[in-house]
Homo-oligomer: A and B are copies of this chain.
Amino acid sequence: MGRSSRAQADENRQRILAAASALFRARGVEDVGIADVMKAAGMTQGGFYNHFSSKEAITTEACAQSFDGAAQKWRQIAADARDGGKDAALAIETYYAADKPPEQTCPMIAFAPIASRRPSDDPLRRAFDDGVKMLLAVYSEQATDGSAKADQDRLSDGFAAMVGAKLLGFARAPISIGHSRVARRR
């Protein structure tokens, strides 16, 4: 096998990145090797460095992409809920709380262990922080859209509870933050 066309190469890069995102989330960044990623993308390990300068680099990109994907998904879930006349924020929480295949592990949980120990100006750390900010923004938008504005503390608290429950493996009843917390209980 010789040189690939530029279009083919671009597609390969995408496939490598997608494979990395899925594997990193499923098994954790530290437990996934470059060879694993390339194998999942249907290539051999040597070609990796034609596309990415290092594992660090692809980790950062995979992190950012995972957050983008999650944000997009959340928006879609919220839109679908509204179309069906349901509460958008509740729909996001329900979706978030649901069990998902390992490769769809929440990026906040998957990347937090590596990102959180980095200095705040580290690229991976930045990607992570930006991602969290983005997801909180999406959640807040959807939660306040069409219902009474919930104050910021209340929103980030609900968001944190959602993530914390996932991290700890709690089976948590989704709560719409736009409505009274207590009212929803039984």
Residue numbers of A with Cβ under 8 A of B are 27-28, 30-31, 108-109, 112-113, 116-117, 129, 132, 151, 153-154, 156-165, 167-170, 172-173, 175, 181, 185
Say whether chain A's binding surface is mostly helix, strand, loop, or mixed: helix
Is B157's CB under 8 angstroms from A161's CB?
A: yes
For the complex of A and B, 3 pairs with smallest distance between CB atoms: A164-B164, A160-B164, A161-B161
Residues of B within 8 A of A117 (CB): 27-28, 31
A129–B168 Cα distance when bound, in Å, is 8
Identical subunits present: 2
A156–B164 Cα distance when bound, in Å, is 10
A117–B127 Cα distance when bound, in Å, is 23
- Looking at the complex, which one of B28, B31, B172 makes contact with A157 (CB distance below 8 Å)? B172
Residues of B within 8 A of A181 (CB): 181
Residues of B within 8 A of A154 (CB): 185
A186 to chain B, nearest CB (A): 9
A31–B112 Cα distance when bound, in Å, is 15
A42–B26 Cα distance when bound, in Å, is 37
Q: Which of A117, A162, A167, A170: most chain B Cβ within 10 A? A: A167
Is A168's CB under 8 angstroms from B160's CB?
A: yes
19 interchain pairs (CB within 8 A)? A27-B117, A30-B30, A108-B167, A116-B167, A153-B185, A156-B170, A157-B161, A157-B175, A160-B160, A160-B161, A160-B163, A160-B164, A160-B167, A160-B172, A161-B161, A163-B167, A164-B165, A164-B167, A181-B181
